[in-house]
Amino acid sequence: MSVSFNTKHLTPFIRDDEFAAIYPQVAAAHEQLEAKTGPGNDFLGWMYLPRDYDKEEFARIQAAAEKIRSDSDVLVVAGIGGSYLGARAVVEAVKGVYHNELEEGLKVYFCGNSISPTALNDIIALCKGKRFSINVISKSGTTTETSLAFRVLRKLLEEEVGVEEANKRIYATTDRARGTLKQLADSQGWPTFVVPDDVGGRYSVLSAVGLLPIAAAGIDIAELMQGAADAMERFSVLSPDNDAYKYAAARNILYRKGKQIEILESYEPNFALMNEWYKQLFGESEGKDNKGLFPASCIFSTDLHSMGQFIQEGSRNMFETIVNVKTPAQDLYIEELEGNFDGLNFLANQNMSVVNRKAMEGTILAHTDGGVPQLLIDVDDLSAYNVGYLIYFFWRACACSGYLLGVNPFNQPGVESYKKNMFALLGKPGYESLTAELEAKLK
Ligand code: PA5
């Protein structure tokens, strides 16, 4: 099976009867999702998206990606949060973090995901003098980070190739009908792609939001969708053997036992952005009403040399979920070294993946002894198909988890607070009454 939830290391922490006891609540969560009766039920468009996606738009995405690959040296993707993380996560998981350096042809860079002038200047330097295209992605069309980066890059593009040619190199992914970005795109004749109304940002990677940058990076998006569709068939069924629901149940059981932090881990550095995507998915879905597991992440063995001490012996308020990639994209045979000067000949005559695996197994046993529950998600490899499969696994698990927790997993009211303060401090019209109050607090 492409993706499965493995509980073999959980026995010291969760008994079988605990899974049985929570199952009626899992069934109720499933029922809420399928009948669309739970909170946030107007944001369930992701549930059958891998089957019901707009095929005509999908073909337009593939054609646009081909055009970008043939007429551009660089695609710069402007977006933040749900309009950023999934695309970059899939590209790096499937193609590796050094894909731009290692491959000939189109480079894909992401911007608009911070307000750092350093970061944006670097992107400008990467685009200047190159044939570049822009994919601006924003459901609302008004997100400050994205709009600011897009404003700067659009001007650069217009200066370099003229307005008419620039208009052929800007692709806008936004609301079907509303918003300033949609209006601007229509007025300039930019090709547009849709963020479906009923799909929230953190569930949008398999819509045009993720698919255009992913396809432009040279990944087979049909494979990605097929993986998600197969996962959808498997994880949309209510059963004690539904691994997505079982993972949600395990998280909830551990949460009720006082575990407050989940650390998602992989032994593949190419998974680092998938970790970030997971953090947004679960963090925004569950962290509300003064509840929720805090989603953290590590890449091992890298972080065993930084966070390993804490996990082994620090506060016992966490569990670990290891994404076990069974077959790495590449392997490396370790040869014997004459003289054994580094003392590493005990590792020789085998593949490096075996060493990585033993590191994982040793760590699981050590952390279990340290009192940290170990959850395992086995994944065959990080092909486009399996990454699509994994995305759907996490979606289902997250939605179920949110309902088990008793929150609306599909809203994010808390993210507005910082924006309100930032706008007031920047003097945005309409925020005047708050400005003085905040400035006084900062004195
Ligand atoms: O999940 C979310 O809703 C957020 O992370 C958004 O995706 C993010 O704020 C970007 O919003 P927009 O696509 O409207 O620019």
- Residues noted as catalytic: 284, 419
CA 29 / ligand 1 centre spacing (Å): 25
d(CA 226, CA 58): 13
206-262 pLDDT, tens per residue? 999 999 999 999 999 999 999 999 999 999 999 999 999 999 999 999 999 999 999
CA 266 / ligand 1 centre spacing (Å): 26
d(CA 382, CA 389): 10
pLDDT surpassing 80 at residue 442: yes
Ligand 1, residues 139, 148, 209, 395: which to mutate, most atoms within 8 A of Cβ? 139
Which amino acid belongs to residue 85?
Answer: L
Using CA positions, which residue lies closest to atom 3 of ligand 1? 201
The band of 433, judged by pLDDT with boundaries at 50, 70 and 90, is confident
- Predicted local distance difference test score (pLDDT) of residue 415: 86
Range scoring the smallest mean pLDDT among 27-31, 135-139, 301-305, 423-427: 423-427
Of the candidates 25, 110, 12, the one whose C-alpha atom is nearest the C-alpha of residue 372 is 12
Ligand 1, residues 88, 137, 140, 411: which to mutate, most atoms within 8 A of Cβ? 140
264-286 pLDDT, tens per residue? 999 999 999 999 999 999 999 99
Task: Verify cis geometry, omega within 30 degrees of 0, for the bond prior to 301.
Answer: yes
Ligand 1 atom nearest to 143, measured from its CA: 15
296-337 pLDDT, tens per residue? 999 999 999 999 999 999 999 999 999 999 999 999 999 999
Using CA positions, which residue lies closest to atom 1 of ligand 1? 201
- Predicted local distance difference test score (pLDDT) of residue 411: 95
Angle made by CA atoms 119, 388, 202, in degrees to the nearest 5: 50
pLDDT surpassing 90 at residue 133: yes
Ligand 1 atom nearest to 202, measured from its CA: 1
Q: Report residue 435 as tokens.
A: 């400005």
**Torsion sign over Cα 24, 27, 33, 35:** negative
Residue whose token pair is 């806008």: 172
Ligand 1 binding residues, C-beta < 6 A: 80-83, 138-140, 143, 146, 200-202, 284, 412
Which amino acid belongs to residue 119?
Answer: A
**Would you say 27 and 159 are in contact if contact means Cβ atoms under 8 Å apart?**
no
d(CA 142, CA 79): 11
Mean pLDDT taken over the chain: 97
Contacts of 387 (CB under 8 A, 6+ apart): 90, 93, 94, 224, 227, 274
Contacts of 205 (CB under 8 A, 6+ apart): 82, 85, 86, 87, 89, 90, 277, 391
Using CA positions, which residue lies closest to atom 7 of ligand 1? 82
Ligand 1 atom nearest to 195, measured from its CA: 13
Backbone angles phi, psi at 411, to 5 degrees: -115, 175
**Torsion sign over Cα 366, 372, 375, 381:** negative
d(CA 238, CA 3): 17
- Predicted local distance difference test score (pLDDT) of residue 244: 98
Using CA positions, which residue lies closest to atom 8 of ligand 1? 81
- Predicted local distance difference test score (pLDDT) of residue 416: 85
Helix (H) or strand (E) holding 436: helix 432-442
Ligand 1 atom nearest to 209, measured from its CA: 13
Give the single-character DSSP code of 336: P
Backbone angles phi, psi at 257, to 5 degrees: -90, 10
The band of 167, judged by pLDDT with boundaries at 50, 70 and 90, is very high
Q: Whole-prediction pTM value? A: 0.97
Neighbour tally for 37: CB within 10 Å? 9
CA 250 / ligand 1 centre spacing (Å): 29
For helices 208-216 and 85-95, the axis angle rounded to 10 degrees is 30
Q: Report residue 291 as tokens.
A: 């509840």
**Would you say 305 and 429 are in contact if contact means Cβ atoms under 8 Å apart?**
no
Ligand 1 atom nearest to 146, measured from its CA: 15
CA 80 / ligand 1 centre spacing (Å): 6
CA 44 / ligand 1 centre spacing (Å): 16
CA 54 / ligand 1 centre spacing (Å): 21
Looking at the DSSP assignment, which residues form a beta bridge with residue 321? 264, 375
Grouping H, G, I as helix, E, B as strand and the rest as coil, residue 301 is coil
d(CA 285, CA 204): 14
Ligand 1, residues 46, 83, 147, 418: which to mutate, most atoms within 8 A of Cβ? 83
Average pLDDT over residues 77-97: 98
Using CA positions, which residue lies closest to atom 12 of ligand 1? 138
7-39 pLDDT, tens per residue? 999 999 999 999 999 999 999 999 999 999 999
pLDDT surpassing 80 at residue 1: no
Q: What is the dihedral of CA 177, 181, 184, 187, to 10 degrees?
A: -30
CA 396 / ligand 1 centre spacing (Å): 20
